[in-house]
Amino acid sequence: MAQIISGKEVSAKVRAEVKEECDALKAKGICPGLAVIIVGDDPASRVYVNNKKKACADVGFISEEYALPAETTQEELLALVEELNNKPEINGILCQLPLPKHLDETAVINAISPMKDVDAFHPSNVGKIMIGDYHFLPCTPAGVMEMIHTAGIEVSGKNCVVIGRSNIVGKPMAMLLLHENGTVTICHSKTRDLKEICAAADILVAAVGRPKFVTADMVKEGAVVLDVGINRLDNGKLCGDVDFESVEPKASYITPVPGGVGPMTIAMLMKNTLKAAKLQNNII
Ligand code: NAD
């Protein structure tokens, strides 16, 4: 039977730490501020934005929501980003993705000041992560690492397999495991012998976006299994990329869905916003 690494518990710990530091900053007259841009009326994006605003309120940050209509032009969106780049009381800016099809996501990410890029998607921050000399880590992979650390799992020398190579999860996830001296393999849709590669993993991270994709035959006895996937089933329930029922008895540690990596992502966003406020006030 695996030990469950609860994202609810670990994220609550991170948020409590952020709140404590936020209180200390407020005593110095500084209140961290996050601006969240949402374009259009995608229901999933609306839920994510509401959760981020609520998390800000819980830790004591100011949050400003900029809800723009779906027909917003690229110029209007870039003008808003520029305005927020220059607004001193805003320390972090995030633009909720995906954007409507007519908008250029890359251009928007590139327009956010790297010092306020609390998602760590800007090429300058991505490059810094590659080098290992960074201010911000992307929230989801950083959340996975926080869970690994809290559970006391050693990465050094372990076979780590990441399924998925997206810019926001798979690639930075692999880099963070590499920074901790894991021997890292990245698998993707063109990988041959996926099952054999996964079955050799001491630490397996699933970021595929396919419900119950990782089955027990892909998991080594005693492996650590971290499930990034968030998939909505036909019955409306959330489900991860890992077939929890069959994998859990084989794993040593496993993260559930819901209540696993999901809550960590927002907690790490709060941590990045706090750091941005400290950096912009020359406190670090
Ligand atoms: P993505 O679609 O950008 O990437 C999916 C990756 O899976 C791709 O690199 C692809 O090569 C790989 N893949 C697809 N089919 C495969 C196959 N048959 N075999 C091996 N690899 C295959 O998705 P993403 O943005 O990286 O997100 C992945 C999952 O994580 C989704 O379920 C998403 O909802 C979830 N997610 C969760 C959080 C969170 O906060 N927990 C944050 C971001 C994403």
Q: Which domain holds residue 65?
A: 29-113
**One domain, residues 160 and 251:** yes
Q: With DSSP H G I counted as helix, E B as strand and the rest as coil, what are the percentages for the chain, rounded to 5?
A: 45, 15, 40
Test site for ligand 1: of 42, 47, 230, most ligand atoms within 8 A of the Cβ: 230
Chain center to CA of 177: 15
Give the CATH number of the domain where residue 156 resides: 3.40.50.720
pLDDT of residue 209: 97
Q: Which two tokens stand for residue 148?
A: 């690994």
C-alpha 164 – ligand 1 centre gap (Å): 5
In this structure, are strands 203-206 and 224-227 parallel, antiparallel, or unpaired? parallel
Burial 190-227, CB ≥16 within 10 A → b, else e: eeeebeebbbebbbbbbbbeebbbbebebbbeebbbbb
> How far away, in angstroms, is 241 Cα from ligand 1 center?
9
**CA atoms 154, 156, 161, 164: torsion sign:** positive
In 3D space, the residue among 116, 121, 144 whose CA is nearest the CA of residue 273 turns out to be 116
Distance between CA atoms of 223 and 244, rounded to whole angstroms?
13
Is there a domain that residue 126 lies in? Answer: no
Residue 182 lies in a domain: yes
Indicate whether 155 and 91 sit together in one domain.
no
Kindly state the DSSP code that residue 100 receives in the 8-state scheme: P
Q: Is 236 part of a structural domain of the chain?
A: yes
Question: Closest ligand 1 atom, CA of 265?
Answer: 40
Instruction: Please report the pLDDT score of residue 284 as a whole number.
Output: 78
Q: Which atom of ligand 1 is nearest to the CA of 191?
A: 20
Q: Are residues 235 and 145 in the same domain?
A: yes
Question: Which residue pairs from 81-86 have beta carbons closer than 8 angstroms and sit at least 24 positions apart in sequence?
Answer: 81/37, 81/108, 81/111, 81/112, 82/111, 84/35, 84/37, 84/116, 85/111, 85/112, 85/113, 85/116
Residue 218 lies in a domain: yes
Same domain for 36 and 100?
Answer: yes
Q: Which two tokens stand for residue 146?
A: 């926080």
Would residue 272 count as lying in a domain?
Answer: no
Do both 156 and 101 map to the same domain? no
* 283 within a domain of the structure (yes/no): no
Tell me, yes or no, if 87 is annotated catalytic: no
pLDDT score recorded for residue 11: 98
Same domain, 144 and 252: yes
The domain that holds 51 is classified in CATH as: 3.40.50.10860
Judgement on whether residues 37 and 107 belong to the same structural domain of the protein: yes
DSSP 39: E
For the segment 20-41, what is each residue's pLDDT rounded down to a tens digit? Answer: 999 999 999 999 999 999 999 9
CA distances from 152 to 5, 172, 233, 283 (A): 11, 21, 33, 30
Query: Is 53 domain-assigned?
Result: yes
What per-residue confidence (pLDDT) applies to 1? 87
Residues 91 and 151 in one domain: no
Active site residue 220: no
Q: Residue 39 to residues 74, 203, 276: CA-CA distances in angstroms?
A: 11, 37, 24
Tokens of 69: 């209509």
Q: Is 96 a catalytic residue?
A: yes
Could you tell me if 36 and 108 lie in one domain? yes
* pLDDT < 50 stretches in the chain: none
Do 144 and 103 share a structural domain? Answer: no
* Burial of 31 per CB tally in 10 Å (0-12, 13-18, 19+): middle
Pair 168, 96 in one domain: no
Pocket probe for ligand 1: among 5, 42, 166, the residue whose CB has the most ligand atoms within 8 Å is 166
Q: From the CB of 279, is ligand 1 less than 6 Å away? A: no
Between CA 84 and CA 271 the distance in angstroms is 20
Per the structure, how many domains does the chain have?
2
The reported pLDDT for the residue numbered 275 is: 98
Q: In terms of domains, do 146 and 257 share one?
A: yes
Report yes or no on 39 lying in a domain. Answer: yes
